[in-house]
């Protein structure tokens, strides 16, 4: 992805990866960390975007399990699923607003 400039990541990716990504890929890798003084549940900035997107992807039955043999096939299924999600949001069925859930039959 040549247009990729910045990536938000979990604290588990700190260390050598940070320098490697900056040097080799020329991408800013920003680590989203939790504050030590916070107790209980707190939404971290940018972290919820990843969790929400993973939730949308796992609604696709084919992505709930790893059926693919090659990583390229898995990547294609993820892209296909996201294209379907975005198409339904951009062009919803008549009479339905994109933010409303689809009624079950």
**Residue 39 above 80 pLDDT?**
no
SS3 70: coil
Degrees (nearest 5) of the Cα angle 20, 21, 26?
A: 120
**pTM of the model as a whole:** 0.56
Q: How far apart are CA 76 and CA 79, in angstroms?
A: 5
In angstroms, what is the C-alpha Rg of the chain? Answer: 18
Among the listed residues 84, 77, 82, the one whose alpha carbon sits nearest the alpha carbon of residue 52? 82
Confidence band of 60 (pLDDT split at 50, 70, 90) = confident
**Residue 42 above 80 pLDDT?**
no
Domains in the chain: boundaries: 1-33, 44-84
Query: For the segment 5-38, what is each residue's pLDDT rounded down to a tens digit?
Result: 888 877 777 788 888 888 888 888 888 777 777 7
**What is the average per-residue pLDDT within 34-58?**
78
Question: pLDDT value at position 1?
Answer: 64
CB-CB contact of 74 with 66 (8 Å): yes
Question: pLDDT value at position 80?
Answer: 93
What are the CA-CA distances from residue 79 to residues 11, 44, 64, 83 (Å)? 26, 26, 15, 6
């Amino acid at each position: 992805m040549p247009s990729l400039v910045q990536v938000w990541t979990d604290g588990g990716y700190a260390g050598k990866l940070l320098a490697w990504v900056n040097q080799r890929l020329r991408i800013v890798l920003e680590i989203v960390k939790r504050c030590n003084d916070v107790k209980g549940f707190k939404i971290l900035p940018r972290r919820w975007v990843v969790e929400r997107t993973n939730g949308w992807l796992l609604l696709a039955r084919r992505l709930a399990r790893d059926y693919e043999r090659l990583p390229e096939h898995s990547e294609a299924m993820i892209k296909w699923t996201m294209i379907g999600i975005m198409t339904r949001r951009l062009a919803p069925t008549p009479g339905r607003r994109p933010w409303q859930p689809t009624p079950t039959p």
